[in-house]
Structure 1
Amino acid sequence: MQTSPLPDAPARQTAREELKTIALRQFASVGFAGTSLQQIADAAGYSKSSVLYHFASKEALLEATLTPAMDTLGEILDRFVARAPSRSSQDAFVVEFIDFLLANRLQVHMFVNQGQSLQGMAVIQRANGLIETLAQSLCGEMRTAEERVRFSVALGGAAYMLSAAEMWSTTPLSDDETRAALVTVVSELLAPMQLRPVAS
């Protein structure tokens, strides 16, 4: 009697990736300032020296946790700028941006809720630069106060909503419900504007 092979077990994260995942959770829940390398090591089941083997400092660990999200946001902006200005390119950007926020909730949480206290760190300066590029690339010189508010509430509000949603409701929405609602609402807020991508 022939037996079927056992399915492959899911690959365990490398120590470096596991430390990044745990550190991001700690930074987001306790705060960067309130998290020590020892706490990260304890939560991961490693020694502090093992953490320092992979990351020279807590700042280097923060940079490693946020940089992939910054890279992704940069790619989304590059794609938008490369498209001809149109309602369909604007709609495609909104979907990509919402998917980015959903896939990077903890990173967005860090930037939205702790960005001010982390000013001066290279990865936060890069994030600020991308947000500035986002505003310039999407809207150029916004002509009216209404355009500025509409743009800020649509994109900044979506980011804040995801980073603080658990504080507002005891019955959170599923990711699918959240995605559909955010795409609809952000698209409606931006609809009166024609986003004007310009080369950054």
Structure 2
Amino acid sequence: MATIDHLRSVALDEFSRAGYLGTSVARIAELAGVSKSSVLYHYASKEALLDAAIGPALDGIEQILERVRRGAIDDSFVEEFVDFLLRYRLEVNIFINQRRSLVDVPVIERANALVVRLAQYFGESSTSVEDRMRFGIALGGAAYCLATAEDFSPDPHSDEQVRGALIDILSELLTPVHTQRD
């Protein structure tokens, strides 16, 4: 019998590859090696499975937002955001690539609201259009880069190289935001 974590992992992978709308509970069951009724025993619906699959990532971004709300925009914020992107690559992929087609799905609405909150914070704390655009390009670009890469890190050392590069680039792009807060 598949474990709840295994079902969630299989669903996450399939949702990111085939799309939420293109994935059925039967397909998840097949990939997990269980019956459809077994999947539905653990998760009442495909929507509940999506919520379980991307919910932990949303909890993670809420923690980052709490630090942002307290004014903690510094190098540790950049590192935490990059680590978040690397850890939740598939979840970010689902959100970035499917959010417009899933507007009525509660977990996607929650994700949209979190992104809006992050953007509002930076919009309110930036004094220029350039700084607001720099923020959007930096954080949104980093997320998009990782979320849309088919196989971004083919070797085990690549994630560390990608992490270092993203931290350096984001730090450079967000420097005007940092200096405003100091």
Q: Does 1:54 align with 2:37?
A: no
Are 1:112 and 2:96 an aligned pair?
A: yes
Deviation of 1:170 after TM superposition, in Å, equals 8.8
Partner of 1:162: 146
Runs of 4+ aligned structure 1 residues displaced above 4 Å come to: 167-173
Matched, 1:122 2:110: no
Instruction: Identify the match of residue 132 of structure 1 among 113, 116, 131.
Output: 116
2: CA distance between counterparts of 1:106 and 1:60? 17
Residue 32 (1) aligns with residue 20 (2): yes
- Which of these two proteins has the greater Rg computed from alpha carbons? 1
Contact 2:2 2:33 in 1 (8 A): no
Q: Does 95-104 or 125-134 show the bigger shift?
A: 125-134
RMSD: 2.5
Which residue of 1 is the match for residue 31 of structure 2?
43
- Alignment check: 8 A CA contact 2:10 2:28 kept: yes
- Structure-2-length-normalised TM-score: 0.90
Q: Distance in 2 between matches of 1:109 and 1:30?
A: 11
Q: Does 1:186 align with 2:170?
A: yes
Q: Mark the runs of 5 or more structure 2 residues left unpaired by the alignment.
A: none
Higher helix share: 2
> Number of residue pairs matched?
181
Cα distance, 1:135 vs structure 2: 1.8
Query: Once the two structures are aligned, what percentage of the paired residues are identical?
Result: 48
Deviation (angstroms), 1:171: 8.8
Q: Which of 142, 145, 148 does residue 132 from structure 2 map onto?
A: 148
